[in-house]
Amino acid sequence: MKKLINLLTNILTKILLFFTPKRFHRFVNNETVGFLLFGGLTTVLSIVLFALAHYTLAFGVAIAGILSDVLAIIFAFITNKIYVFESSSWQPKTLIPELTKFGAARAFTVVLGILALVLLVDIWGFNAMLMRIITIIIIHMLGNYALSKWLVFTKPKTNTPESTGG
């Protein structure tokens, strides 16, 4: 499965590089494309799970929303860990901090996104759907990528001559 995912992200990366201006090429790589791919799948999963819970199982919107978000975040954690940031250790000393930081980062971007929507829509009067799309792109996608890359799935530091002062 991992080889298939790597092949797909390689193909998508090459396609995006072809259509992307050269000055943005440094942002288009297998990691960012994988993040976008699995982010899209996470979004679709969340919507499908919400619809299933609400319309088929007759859960209220709050319960359906919480259930779909929790399951989608678990899916996002697993796919980001394995396929995007390639954090291979499932040992509790690695897994628990990653899972905790991932959950906290997602909670942070959710709260930040809600606050941004209240400010942009309820206070400043911008169009709700347009602002939702913008906050998804800027806060959720970019924020979650940055937090996952630099806080959650960090690579262990290696002792190279440059890092040891030698």
User: pLDDT tens digits, residue range 150-164?
Assistant: 999 987 766 655 544
Whole-number Å distance between alpha carbons of 42 and 101: 18
Q: Give the distance, in angstroms, between the CA of residue 45 and the centroid of all CA atoms in the same chain.
A: 13
**Helix %, strand %, coil % for the chain, to 5?**
80, 0, 20
Q: Which of 139, 136, 134 is nearest to 46 (CA)?
A: 136
Note whether 29 and 6 are within 8 A (CB): no
User: pLDDT tens digits, residue range 22-66?
Assistant: 999 999 999 999 999 999 999 899 889 989 999 999 988 889 888
Rounded to 10°, the helix 128-135/92-117 angle is 150
pLDDT confidence of 120, banded at 50, 70, 90? very high
User: pLDDT averaged over the chain?
Assistant: 89
Whole-number Å distance between alpha carbons of 72 and 26: 29
pTM here is 0.80
Reported as type and span, the H/E element at residue 29 is none
